[in-house]
Amino acid sequence: MTDGEWTGVSRERQVVYEMHIGTFTPAGTWAAAMNELPGLARLGITVVEVMPVAEFEGRFGWGYDGVDLFAPSHVYGRPDDFRRFVDAAHAAGLAVILDVVYNHFGPSGNYLRAFAPAYFTDRYPNEWASRSTSTAGMPDRCATFFVCNAGYWIDEFC
């Protein structure tokens, strides 16, 4: 993309703004949010923390029930729109970090148990039990999956 010279933000200068793409603007899209980035920079924001964007069921969600952990939600726009958002943030001097959720999945479309039942346990009660399946307390075998997923978001969108 266009931000090959991006060097990041020093730890000492970080002022974090948490952003939910779906509610940040009336349009609720990457493109609409991108237009507001210069204003955030003028306010002194240095880091935009984007709330979870993994695909979820329906037209609205906070992102904490995503199941397609390798797909940005279609509700906010196309994957290239997300890439342009990150490029625009970097051009405005803003770092982008992603809030990711690996400890529970939404109730709809969660087929991970069919392919990897060892990632799940019912041994630990949690507040999500009635709405989603939890990976809370799972052994280290989940780590490889999660590290690969984090790498995917960095490689594809930064």
Residues 49-71 pLDDT 10s: 999 988 887 788 777 776 778 88
* Average pLDDT taken over every residue of the chain: 81
CB 55 within 8 A of CB 24: no
- DSSP state for residue 152 in the 8-state scheme: H
How wide is the angle at C-alpha 51 spanned by C-alphas 95 and 25, nearest 5°? 85
Claim: this prediction has a pTM higher than 0.85: no
pLDDT attached to residue 124: 63
Burial class (CB in 10 A: 0-12, 13-18, 19+), 149: middle
Report whether pLDDT(130) > 70.
no
pLDDT attached to residue 131: 41
Distance of CA 154 to the CA centre of its chain: 11
Rounded Cα distance, 56 and 71, in Å = 9
Report whether pLDDT(94) > 70.
yes
Q: Which two tokens stand for residue 8?
A: 């990041």
In the chain the domains, ranked by start, together with CATH numbers, are 12-157 (3.20.20.80)
